[in-house]
Amino acid sequence: MNKLIALSRNEWTKTIHHIIVYVILLFILLGILGIASIYRVINNSNQQNYEIRNFSEVQSEIEDNQTDLINRIDALEKKIQKASENGLNQENDDFLDMKLEWQYNKSELMTYQLAIENQVNIYNQDYLSDLIYELKDLILALKSQEMAPNSESDNFIDNLESDFLLEYGSFLMNNFGYLNEEQIKTRINQVTQLLEQPNYSKYISLEKKHILENSLLSEMQKQDQLFDLDLKLKTNPNGLNYYPGFEQISNWKNIRDESRQSLALGYNQNFEPLNQEQMQKAENDLNIVLSYLDETILNDQTAFTSNYSISYFCLDYGTYMIIFLIIILAGGAIAHEISSGSIKGLIIAPVKRSKIFFAKLFNTMLIGLVGMLFVYFITLISSLTLLHIPNNFPYGNFSFPIYLLFRALSKLPFIWIAGFFALCLSAITRNTSIAVGFSMILQFGVWGIYHFIKLITNNIHAIFAFLPMEYLDLSNYLIEDLPKFLSNSYLLDTNQNFFTFQVPIWIPFLYWIFLSLALIWIARDSFVQKDL
């Protein structure tokens, strides 16, 4: 045992004297920090989209657009009237296109007029701009109801206005079908007051009242929409339509709504019946996403799916760099020492060949462990400092550092199997170039080809995963990859797994153990039995 420890220490000493070790570690350090930094710069530039500009800053632009719309409407009216005088059939496609364009411009003009009257920047895409659009729709819907039926004028423009209200206004009235004329007038007054005295909290309260009065919604729909408003008030205090975390929260809501719909109807989005297992999955998805939404409303979540995805991308980048390193070191662990003759000194010592082999095997595993710990610490530092991922991590009771550590350690079997394969080839071929080259081709070349096949065949050839070692990445089974769930709003779409080769979860573990033992046994037998 003492000799094995001494040999292992000797192997580690030789490892840390390899210049390639420090080159790879430097690439890992610069790569992870670079990825996180680039993401932060891009993310900060995107924050400009969430900034609110005052009306005075865009007033001239809005007025210019209003003038442009007036000119376009005048030109269209002349064009339509001329076409009518020339006997163009009003059912003609060209005539209908001009009429639709006129109606659209007329609606937009009304929006700009209301924005100028209320001094609201409609380019902000916030709750105030929403109120402007709602006010326009309410006014048009009300006018369509107040207009005398079958009223026709000799004035061509008046008839255009009437058609506009009958078609567009009636369409809008259907959207407010649960409101009568008196309720619409009340709603107009409420919206006008909010525009005169903006108050986001009051707006949320008004929306809640609006939902409760909507007889077309079920109790569950009302409950969800009321919850969404509370969530919006907490995560989006400025009342913007698009804000940091909007996409993630929208995905969670989609999963919730899709799961509820599937559970209620027994069908997925493609109207395919769900079996018992899929129904359980829908219920599980619903429970998980409800817990995430509850956690978000109870705690101030500042990190979202994209941040987690970048963090895991950094971890995966570091993992493959360690695999690259371990293939180089393990591929030359035996072959290089045999070709240089340095290994003969150990055998003369005398030391059993098996102990020399196991020392090299343990050193290979140690390289993977230490390398992944290095990757973990660099990823953790970049995640906390550059990506601002909080500790109140939405995964069980784990904090983010603990979860990331488990995630990093779960990558070790994948790294070790690459090292075992390179060590096996090194012992068999006694040639460093062949051992390293063939291992690289298998690990990265075939892996790339396999994923390309998966991409172009829509996942129908997942059985090829056994070739490049996809099923040997046990991290897929040891711990959940959070971003895949958080960013997926179509979990119940069964087409995603159509024709996919499915295996019980224990098969990858047995496969990994069997392949590892086989590679170690072949490498040991070749090293111990063959003459040096």
> For residues 54 and 216, which has the higher predicted lDDT (pLDDT)?
54
Mean pLDDT, residues 242-263 = 77
What are the contacts of 165-168 at 24+ separation with CB within 8 A?
165/140, 167/103, 168/103, 168/107, 168/140, 168/144
Residue 187 CA, chain-centre distance (Å), reads 38
116-125, 204-213, 280-289, 450-459: range with lowest mean pLDDT: 450-459
Cis previous bond, 350, omega within 30: yes
DSSP line for 273-335: BP-HHHHHHHHHHHHHHHHHHHHHHHS-----HHHHHHHHHHHHHHHHHHHHHHHHHHHTTTH
Q: H helices within 299-430, ranges in order?
A: 305-331, 335-340, 343-348, 353-385, 400-409, 412-429
Q: Mapping DSSP to helix (H, G, I), strand (E, B) and coil, where does residue 54 land? A: coil
Q: What is the mean pLDDT of the chain?
A: 78
CA 61 – CA 112 distance, rounded (Å): 11
> Measured between alpha carbons, how far is 281 from 494 in angstroms, rounded to an integer?
11
pLDDT value at residue 270: 67
Q: Does 302 score more than 50 pLDDT?
A: no
Q: Give the pLDDT band of residue 496 (cuts 50, 70, 90).
A: very low
pLDDT digits (tens, 9 = 90+) for 146-184: 765 555 555 566 667 777 776 665 666 566 555 677 878
Lowest mean pLDDT among 8-17, 135-144, 284-293, 441-450: 284-293
The Cα–Cα gap between 172 and 141 comes to 6
Burial of 513 (0-12, 13-18, 19+ CB in 10 A): exposed
What mean pLDDT do residues 250-263 have? 80
Q: Amino acid identity of 342?
A: S
Indicate the angle between helix axes 156-164 and 93-118, nearest 10 degrees: 80
pLDDT at 468: 47
How confident is the model over 54-71, as pLDDT tens digits? 888 888 999 999 999 999
Contact 469, 415 (CB under 8 A): no
Q: Integer distance in angstroms from the first to the last C-alpha of the chain?
A: 24
User: Of 192, 96, 93, whose CA–CA distance to 138 is shortest?
Assistant: 192
pLDDT digits (tens, 9 = 90+) for 42-54: 776 655 555 677 8
3-state secondary structure of 270: coil
User: How far is the C-alpha of 467 from the C-alpha of 52, rounded, in Å?
Assistant: 53
Q: 469 versus 195: which is more confidently predicted?
A: 195
pTM of the model: 0.65
pLDDT > 70: percent of the chain: 75
The pLDDT value given to residue 242 = 75
